[in-house]
Amino acid sequence: MNALSRSDNFDAALAGAARAAADWLVADQKPDGHWVARADSNSCMEAQWCLALWFLGLEDHPLRARLGKALLKTQRPDGAWQIYHDALNGDVNTTVEAYAALRSLGVRDDDPALVRARAWIESKGGLRKIRVFTRYWLALIGEWPWERTPNLPPEVIWFPLWFPFSIYNFAQWARATLMPIALLSARRPSRPLPPDRRLDSLFPGGRDKFDYELPKKANAGGWDKFFRGADKVLHALQEFGARQKLGLWRPAAVAHATEWIVRHQDADGAWGGIQPPWIYSLMALHVEGYALDHPVIAKALDGLNDPAWRWDEDDGATFIGATNSPVWDTMLTLLAFEDAGLNGEYPETVEKAAEWLLARQVRVKGDWSMKLPNVEPGGWNFEYCNNYYPDIDDTAVALIALAPFRNSPKFQALGIEAAFARALDWLIAMQSRSGGWGAFDKDNDQKILTKIPFCDFGEALDPPSVDVTAHVIEAFAKLGLPRNHPALLRGVDYIKREQEADGPWFGRWGVNYVYGTSAALPALAALGEDMRAPYIGRACDWLVAHQLPNGGWGESCASYMDHKSAGRGAATASQTAWGLMGLLAANRPQDAQAIERGLAYLIDGQKDGTWAEPHYTGTGFPGYGVGQTIKLTDPNLPKMLMQGPELSRAFMLRYGLYPQYFPLIAIGRALAARRAPSPL
């Protein structure tokens, strides 16, 4: 029988919530048809831009003061800055960078905000614990010796594809960031802070006695020792060459790397659709002689005025985004209207959005083609401008969102069938050897790369994940690929292998096991998998067991380091929707009460058509280095990764529209299930 009982009053409440959410989205749609909302991350964004403008000689840039106000606004009461909302603890890297940025603005050492920050930093062991990127920032402002930062020679640009250390074996985000840092590492530039703004207070024992060495990771093994030794050799060679004025191949490597960076600039002036390559490329090119009025630099700086990246608040604070998400937001909003059965009630809204989305297919080759030179482009990207890096997740969800328009004469005339064919061929070609799909590249899994000193941040690799793989499988099913297609068979096998012993799936791009499970179950259902299978039952049992007393679901970002936090946290609208999406896909009779309680939570929590959600439920990097799930029960793990539940090596996100379209998707699917006839 159908898992959901029928109640006219409850159905009316659900329909009313769906209509209110849809009306809110209609009012929020951009004139050209797309949707986008702010993507919040952490205060490194504001701190680093404040420091970058100083480094570029733009200390009087009006944005700097606004960034300073944003930093003061986001400081925790304990003096730290954090990686995600309501984190258990602050992050030493973000706090040091924010401290440095405020000092560059002339905030005094004895200012209460900096007194609190400094005391907090000292309580966490001081500067000894900071990551590589923070060390680079301190070097750029004259507060850290360049020779005590990991050396990245620009000659890596010449490594062939078959070589493990080829730049194309790094994840997209790491590759795009590595190249400008290699130029900065080769040049070792700095623009020191004035004497009265230096960070002397962060060196309480004096700079001469400070230990600048990178802390050793627990159980790091022989490769760590080898690469640390290699780093010292590279520094020695660089210093010898500088003393003897021996350039060897360095000028050619610098020229090649510079050309690579210029070629990869996006139309909006940024690089890679994210902040790190944008900010480092801007500084690296300026060091290479590109003047501030050079078109490349001017375009990069002008991106800071683009509302796609910048959010000005009424109190004088400005926040700069780590990314922007219009393509992702638009396709998921389209999916929400379809799942709620509202396409016919909002035809102009939906059609305009679908046209916008279809036109965003990327038709030029990007870095992915280095491994697949004979494959035609056919993906979608995440941001407004990022043609070099279309991603598999966006491409799969674009197909799901556009599938309802496949038989429309208008969309057939716009070439939807050809677009689908290109996308399907591209997705099949991008499948990794494991049977799963990564986000940006095929077979991006050279774990040795994670051992080099540079790679102590986020993730250096982009291996397959269950959530991306599930979306691809769901897209294939929606478009009618045969159930016995080799790509589908291998993908399903991958998902089954990756299931956790207690039932859920790890969430790579959303927090966390609730997200991964909510992606896997609908994909398996769309494919026609037996939803009464024991492994499906284990996943549903896990979701039901982790439902909160108030009917919602919530999972803290801390679950990426604390296994006891898996499926645990404050209830949120987006994660409640994910839990419901998983259970509705299986539609087990025994889950009817849990589903209704989850739906009631969404109904009760809606206000003026939307849901408030300050918590971060989007994942950038869990901070593992390897880019995939790891065992969290090892007691040495915090020392090995050099992070705890505060996620000092991670990068988390709050997508502004997650608590809007995901609840609408869940409510819409519930309404469809409740209206479906119950089998005898």
* DSSP string of 266-324, one letter each residue: -TTS-BTTBHHHHHHHHHHHHHTT--TTSHHHHHHHHGGG-TTTEEE-TTS-EEE-S--
Tokens of 461: 């690799």
pLDDT at 302 (0 to 100): 97
Of the pLDDT bands very low, low, confident and very high (cuts 50, 70, 90), residue 251 is very high
Taking residue 5's Cβ as centre, other Cβ atoms within 10 Å add up to: 14
Find out whether 199 and 114 touch, Cβ atoms under 8 Å.
no
Tokens of 155: 């000659």
Look at the alpha carbons of 98, 41, 314, 77 in this order and tell me if their dihedral is positive or negative: negative
Of the pLDDT bands very low, low, confident and very high (cuts 50, 70, 90), residue 246 is low
Q: Which residues contact 140 (CB under 8 A, 6 or more apart)?
A: 51, 55, 184, 189, 190, 191, 283
DSSP three-state, residue 621: strand
pTM for the model stands at: 0.95
Q: In this predicted model, what pLDDT tens digit does every residue of 14-66 receive, in sequence order?
A: 999 999 999 999 999 999 999 999 999 999 999 999 999 999 999 999 999 99
Tokens of 99: 């401290």
pLDDT at 219 (0 to 100): 65
Q: Look at residues 105, 119, 98, 121 and name the one whose alpha carbon lies nearest to residue 43.
A: 98
Domain ranges in the chain with CATH number 1.50.10.20: 8-39+324-675, 42-202+228-320
Q: DSSP state, 81?
A: B
In this structure, what is the dihedral angle of CA atoms 392, 397, 403, 408, given to the nearest 10 degrees?
A: -90
Of the pLDDT bands very low, low, confident and very high (cuts 50, 70, 90), residue 638 is confident
d(CA 197, CA 141): 11
φ/ψ region of 480 (left if φ > 0, alpha if ψ in -120 to 50, else beta) reads: left
Of the pLDDT bands very low, low, confident and very high (cuts 50, 70, 90), residue 454 is confident
d(CA 280, CA 183): 9
- Name the helix (H) or strand (E) containing 620: strand 618-621
Look at the alpha carbons of 278, 31, 404, 11 in this order and tell me if their dihedral is positive or negative: positive
Between 636 and 228, the higher pLDDT residue: 636
Give phi and psi for 89, each to the nearest 5: -150, 165
Q: What is the mean pLDDT of the chain?
A: 94
pLDDT at 563 (0 to 100): 92
End-to-end CA distance of the chain: 7
d(CA 545, CA 539): 10
Amino acid (1-letter code) at residue 193: L
pLDDT at 5 (0 to 100): 52
Whether 604 sits among the annotated catalytic residues: the reply is no
Of 65-69, 113-117, 130-134, 218-222, the one with minimum mean pLDDT is 218-222
pLDDT at 495 (0 to 100): 98
Does position 6 have pLDDT exceeding 60, yes or no?
no
Does position 166 have pLDDT exceeding 80, yes or no?
yes
pLDDT at 231 (0 to 100): 65
42-202+228-320 topology per CATH: Glycosyltransferase (1.50.10)
Find out whether 398 and 357 touch, Cβ atoms under 8 Å.
yes
Tokens of 146: 């360049």
Q: Look at residues 87, 37, 83 and name the one whose alpha carbon lies nearest to residue 658.
A: 37
Q: Which residues contact 438 (CB under 8 A, 6 or more apart)?
A: 392, 430, 432, 444, 462, 463, 464, 465, 468, 627
pLDDT at 680 (0 to 100): 33
Q: In this predicted model, what pLDDT tens digit does every residue of 304-331 receive, in sequence order?
A: 999 999 999 999 999 999 999 999 999 9
d(CA 399, CA 438): 17
How far CA 300 is from CA of 49, 178, 181, 216, 412, in Å, comes to: 12, 18, 17, 37, 38
Does position 1 have pLDDT exceeding 50, yes or no?
no
pLDDT at 65 (0 to 100): 98
pLDDT at 240 (0 to 100): 64
pLDDT at 214 (0 to 100): 82
pLDDT at 456 (0 to 100): 76
Find out whether 675 and 14 touch, Cβ atoms under 8 Å.
no
Of the pLDDT bands very low, low, confident and very high (cuts 50, 70, 90), residue 509 is very high
Q: In this predicted model, what pLDDT tens digit does every residue of 327-373 receive, in sequence order?
A: 999 999 999 999 999 999 999 999 999 999 999 999 999 999 999 99
Q: Look at residues 463, 581, 600 and name the one whose alpha carbon lies nearest to residue 516.
A: 581
Tell me whether strands 310-312 and 39-40 are parallel, antiparallel or unpaired.
unpaired
d(CA 388, CA 296): 17
- Provide the residue count of the chain: 680
- Under CATH, to which class is 8-39+324-675 assigned? mainly alpha
| Active-site annotation holder among 329, 339, 393, 394 | 393
Does position 241 have pLDDT exceeding 70, yes or no?
no
Instruction: Name the CA radius of gyration of the chain, rounded.
Output: 25
Mean pLDDT of 583-594: 97
- Reported in sequence order, the residue ranges of 18-163 that DSSP labels E, i.e. its strands, are 39-40
- Between helix 8-28 and helix 326-339 the angle, nearest 10°, is 150
Mean pLDDT of 400-415: 98
pLDDT at 459 (0 to 100): 87
Of the pLDDT bands very low, low, confident and very high (cuts 50, 70, 90), residue 218 is low
pLDDT at 359 (0 to 100): 98
- What is the three-state SS of 231-251? HHHHHHHHHHHHHHCCCCCHH
The sheet carrying 618-621 orders its strands as 39-40, 651-655, 618-621
Find out whether 173 and 270 touch, Cβ atoms under 8 Å.
no
Amino acid (1-letter code) at residue 11: D
Percent helix, percent strand, percent coil in the chain, to nearest 5: 55, 5, 40
